[in-house]
Structure 1
Amino acid sequence: MKRICLLLPNGFEAVEASVFTDVMGWNQVEGDGTTELVTVGTRKELTCTWNFTVIPEMVIEDVIVDNFDALTLPGGFEFAQFYEDAYREDVLELIRAFNEKNKIIASICVGALPLGKSGVLSGRNATTYKSSSSLRQQQLAAFGVNVQADTPIVVDGNIITSYNPATAFDVAFKLLEMLTSEENCLEVKRLMGFVK
């Protein structure tokens, strides 16, 4: 069984988290059955960017990295205090621990910024939210990252990053493919209606 840690800082975007729960859930029931996703919060109760309240299955201090095969991290909004939680030292340490063990790390949109702040993207290719101001991409570059500004999804070794919420399903499917196989991923995509 491949176990995925879905790390949820306060202020995360629900849609960016839900793609991981849906794709891995569909795989568990309709695909090869080899994935299990566990929601892990920075606190016992979280408020999403758009005011959903979420109660995760675990809290970050209870995570044992060796019990997981991948780490996923959605983005969020500044006004919802996403960065306050996502830049906490325990979050950054968890990211580093997953990377040190060469486990897959998948982020969506500004979920790449905590990866950059942790140092795991230093000197590597990645992307983050693309807007007319390029503020978030500039912030990622300041962490020593080779920002691929016009590439929707960037895979560099064990790390997947993307540049907006529209890429979310593609990131989740790429993660599924890396954890299982291309054939299994295509079958899950077909069953979910993404391919005919």
Structure 2
Amino acid sequence: MVVFASMGCIQGDDGMSGEEKKGRVVMVIAPQDFRDEELLVPKRALEAAGFDTVVASTRKGEAVGMLGARVSVDATIDELDPSQYDGIVVVGGSGTREYLWGNAQLHELIRAFFAQNKTVGAICLAPVVLAEAGVLDGKRATVFPDSEAISELEEGGASYVRSPVVLSGGVITAEGPKAAESFAAELIHDLEERA
């Protein structure tokens, strides 16, 4: 009887009762002051569309958003292997400037995803990281309308466009938290197109 009862509780590791995941997406956040909805809205949308998400940062443990969201970090940036994922999303927020801008390991990771023709996206202040990595050179892109962020984007070779979401040369950028839903929809579309 115990064997029968425990067998009835078995389901897949992903909790989807045998449904197959479409792919895996890594979402990179600052360990402190990421923008809550720029992580949570795309994360929920990706998962609802059948994608597995992994939250990564510069350190493991609990990350805290600008509005108080607390999330567990699954992996550090240096632990990530692009061949195990279908896309990378860099999340914005005020902590992005301190923890992710100028991060050479993250730049290398982004270049690897881009070189492997995988989905690459960033929102709010995070498109600066893509510019620093060199993947926005010659492309149109948007960023949170902050003069330093716009300047950094342009220094990386991008043409700044004031728009909620921009897809250019295989890279998706979004302006900020109000664009989170549109950004999520564009990410899902791009991931499905590349599958």
Q: TM-score, normalised by structure 1?
A: 0.79
Higher helix share: 1
Which one-letter code corresponds to 2:41 in the other structure?
V
Report the counterpart of residue 57 of structure 2 in structure 1.
41
5+ residue gaps, structure 1, are 29-34, 182-196
Instruction: Write the mapping of 1:10-21 to structure 2, written as runs, cut at 5 A.
Output: 10=31, 11-21=33-43
Q: Does 1:105 align with 2:120?
A: yes
> Deviation digits for residues 107-162 of structure 1, max 9, x if unmatched?
1111101111111111211110125xx442222112221111x2221101221001
Shift of 1:39: 1.2
Shift of 1:53: 3.6
Report the counterpart of residue 144 of structure 1 in structure 2.
157
2:141–2:160 contact (8 Å) kept in structure 1:
yes
For residues 154 and 53 of structure 2, the distance between their equivalents in structure 1, rounded to whole angstroms, comes to 31
- SS of equivalent residue, structure 2 residue 34: coil
Shift of 1:51: 4.2
Superposed CA RMSD in Å reads: 1.7
Q: TM-score, normalised by structure 2?
A: 0.80
Report the counterpart of residue 186 of structure 1 in structure 2.
none
- SS of equivalent residue, structure 1 residue 160: strand
Alignment length, in residue pairs? 169
For residues 35 and 167 of structure 2, the distance between their equivalents in structure 1, rounded to whole angstroms, comes to 22
- SS of equivalent residue, structure 2 residue 60: coil
5+ residue gaps, structure 2, are 1-21
Shift of 1:95: 0.9
Structure showing greater Rg:
2
Report the counterpart of residue 75 of structure 1 in structure 2.
92
Shift of 1:180: 2.4
- SS of equivalent residue, structure 1 residue 129: coil
For residues 55 and 86 of structure 2, the distance between their equivalents in structure 1, rounded to whole angstroms, comes to 14
Higher strand share: 2
**Which of these residues, 77, 83, 88, is aligned with residue 66 of structure 1?**
83
> Deviation digits for residues 61-87 of structure 1, max 9, x if unmatched?
22110011110111111xx4x223212
Q: What stretches of structure 1 move > 4 A for 4+ residues in a row?
A: none
